[in-house]
Each structure stands twice: as C-alpha cells, then as structure tokens.
C-alpha cells in the first residue's frame, strides 16, 4: 500500500505537559500542542497527544485536535500510532494513521481520506515537525 500525495506539513510547539504513572513501569504523558499547518489546509492547529509506554521503549500515541484554516473552515483531526527514540539526543520519531472531518464544503474531499503521519518531537526544544500524506 503506497502513500499518496503529501497533504500538508506542520510545525508546533509544546504548550503544556503532564505525566502520570500507570503502574508496572509504564507512564502516560499528555502533551498539548499548538502550531501552523501548510498545504491543502493552511492555518493553525491545536491538539492533545497522549503517549503511553515504558521509558526507553517504543510507545503508542493518540492525538485529537482541530485545525483552524486560514479560509475560516474548521477541521477535526485524530490519529494514533507508535513513537521511538531516534538515537539523536532525546528526539522521538512518530509514525501513525489518522483521519480528519469538516463540515466545510471546500474540505469535503478530505473527509473520506485515511492519512499517514510522520513527525519528529524534540523534548529539549519542545517542538514538533512533520508531514501528513494521503494513504492510498
């Protein structure tokens, strides 16, 4: 299954972080993010990413958020996937699948698209940067 066109890219900043112990050495980390999107839906995004796992091992994530498009449209986004350390400092590479929905007719074509996301997070600089592609 190949990936299709790049739908957009995003850069963001961590706004807040909270951690909790889940037991058995596992942790839950909630990260609130805000940033900019480019591509088919240019604008600002706000999201919450929840990462669960054991420190030093690959961990799963879920993400829920919204894109406030420059056109005035609103798009709900959600996704889930896996992250693991890159070996470069504290950086983490995440890969996952997602989808988006909008009531705006100009974005209706994206309502039935499954997407693949790849992004990198740097806990030291508290930034993320990545891209979203159509999954054909």
Where residue 129 sits, what CATH number does that domain have? 2.40.160.20
Domain region containing 109:
3-135
Q: Which pLDDT does position 1 carry in this prediction?
A: 47
Q: Among candidates 129, 109, 108, 134, which has minimal Cα distance to 118?
A: 129
CA distances from 18 to 25, 46, 62, 69 (A): 16, 16, 15, 28
Query: Which positions ≥6 away from 134 have C-beta within 8 Å?
Result: 3, 4, 5, 7, 113, 114, 115, 116
pLDDT, tens digit, 9 for 90 and up, residues 18-27: 999 999 999 9
Reading the block at residue 90, the tokens are: 């504290």
pLDDT, tens digit, 9 for 90 and up, residues 87-136: 999 999 999 999 999 999 999 999 989 999 999 999 999 999 999 999 88
> How many domains are contained in the chain?
1
| pTM (predicted TM-score) | 0.93
């Amino acid at each position: 299954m190949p990936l299709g066109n790049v739908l957009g890219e995003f850069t963001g900043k961590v706004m807040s972080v909270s951690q909790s112990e889940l037991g058995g050495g596992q942790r839950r980390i909630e990260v609130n993010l805000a940033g900019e999107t480019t591509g088919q839906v240019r604008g600002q995004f706000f999201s919450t990413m929840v990462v669960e796992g054991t420190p030093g091992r690959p961990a799963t994530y879920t993400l829920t958020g919204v894109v406030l498009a420059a056109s005035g449209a609103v798009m709900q986004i959600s996704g889930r996937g896996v992250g693991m350390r890159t070996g470069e400092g504290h950086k983490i590479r995440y890969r996952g699948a997602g989808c988006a929905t909008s009531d705006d007719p100009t974005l209706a074509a994206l309502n039935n698209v499954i997407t693949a996301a790849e992004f990198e997070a740097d806990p030291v600089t508290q930034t993320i940067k990545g891209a979203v592609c159509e999954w054909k």
